[in-house]
Amino acid sequence: MDRFPADRTALIRALFPKGVPQLWSPSLFFYDAGGGFERARQEAHLTFMARHVGGFLIPGSTGDAWEMEDEEAVAALDLAIDFAGPRGIDLLAGVLRPDVASMGALLERMVKHLCDRAGTATVPDAFEACRVRGVTVAPPTTPEPLSQPALAEALGPLLARGLPMAVYQLPQVTGNRMAPELLADLAGRFPNFILFKDSGGTDEVARSGLLPDDLVLLRGAEGDYARWHAGLGGPYDGFLLSTANAFPARLAGILEALKAGRSDEAREESDRLSSVVAEAFAAADGLPDGNGFTNANKLLAHGMAFGKGARSVEPPLLHAGSVLPADRVERVITALEQAGMLPAQGYMTR
């Protein structure tokens, strides 16, 4: 493919010939004492998810995207490409930065790296060779919310580059919330805008009915999973969830139950999972380093990695170099135990 199709539907079909995966995850990243990636742990974690997750956002907010330097972000994507290629997993490259200039710089660096890695100057061929299906951007991070025209001015030039693009709603980090009208306008002007991920928690964009039918909608907000999916009449095509780092099989099971028409089963599992997830986010609240998505999921993933032995294993490092507090770990491990979700052996101890 020497150029990306100019029509959204055709572009999505070219990028995802087997269909867009319904379950994605922004993978956590694990670090050694020197601040580098703990590669063996990282590959074990990706393997744990890969049985059930069809795509990864690398790096996403859960994977320290805003904390990483550009070099780290490219290295994270490179690690994911090494893993995804042999397994047929799709990737979204995360270009998540606090301002437009730094987003543009990282975007250029990532595209050049993909071309160099693939040995081609043709960007579509490089994307295909690396299984990168698009680039994810979000509004700038500002102390006070920007106006909708200012958000359009910020995002427009990035979308105008013509690459397959995903737009990410995450006001918890950026301080900005895109209105349905703004996103409908961007979708109308840029057919390369192929996917919208909403972690904002209010879902007004997906519920507005203003977005084109061929724009892929993924829900990133946690909790109450089943009712938001199209299988129960909801507005979303699938999920891009931080908690797929801990519960890939359970989330995939909810989607499978919906597909098979077992709506009661999907609702029941969704409710059970939502309760544990809420407890994990409460346990992660107020920590000085990282963000709520990263910290809650590192707490949960610690339990899934080490099972009933998790209390005796030092918690993982955050990007800042700090360790998750033992009392927060205990709270989440207890919640997993009480819900019957803590494995006897985790994926690191089998």
Residue 228, domain extent? 8-261
Establish if 267 belongs to a structural domain: no
> How many domains would you assign to the chain?
1
Establish if 100 belongs to a structural domain: yes
Q: Which helix (H) or strand (E) holds 179?
A: none
Establish if 309 belongs to a structural domain: no
Mean pLDDT, the chain, rounded, equals 97
Q: At a CB cut-off of 8 Å and minimum separation 6, what does 171 contact? A: 177, 200
**C-alpha span between 284 and 222 (Å, rounded):** 14
With a pLDDT cut of 70, the percent of the chain lying above it is 100
**C-alpha span between 318 and 25 (Å, rounded):** 18
**Mean pLDDT across 24-44:** 97
Establish if 288 belongs to a structural domain: no
- Cα distance between the two ends of the chain: 43
Establish if 301 belongs to a structural domain: no
Of 147, 165, 148, the C-alpha closest to 92 is: 165
| Cα-only R_g, the chain | 19
Q: What is the pLDDT of residues 41-72, one digit of tens each?
A: 999 999 999 999 999 999 999 999 999 999 99
Instruction: Work out the pLDDT band at 242, boundaries 50, 70, 90.
Output: very high
**Mean pLDDT across 31-35:** 96
What stretches of 51-193 show up as alpha helix (H) in DSSP?
70-87, 100-118, 123-130, 148-159, 171-174, 180-189
**C-alpha span between 294 and 289 (Å, rounded):** 10
User: Cβ-count burial of 121 within 10 angstroms (0-12 exposed, 13-18 middle, 19+ buried)?
Assistant: exposed
Establish if 142 belongs to a structural domain: yes
Residue 1 has pLDDT above 90, yes or no: no
Q: What is the pLDDT of residues 84-93, one digit of tens each?
A: 999 999 999 9
pLDDT given for residue 221 in this prediction = 87
pLDDT given for residue 97 in this prediction = 98
Establish if 87 belongs to a structural domain: yes
Establish if 235 belongs to a structural domain: yes
Which position has the token pair 């032995």?
A: 309
Instruction: Work out the pLDDT band at 350, boundaries 50, 70, 90.
Output: confident
**Mean pLDDT across 94-123:** 98
CATH assignment of the domain containing 55: 3.20.20.70
Instruction: Work out the pLDDT band at 209, boundaries 50, 70, 90.
Output: very high
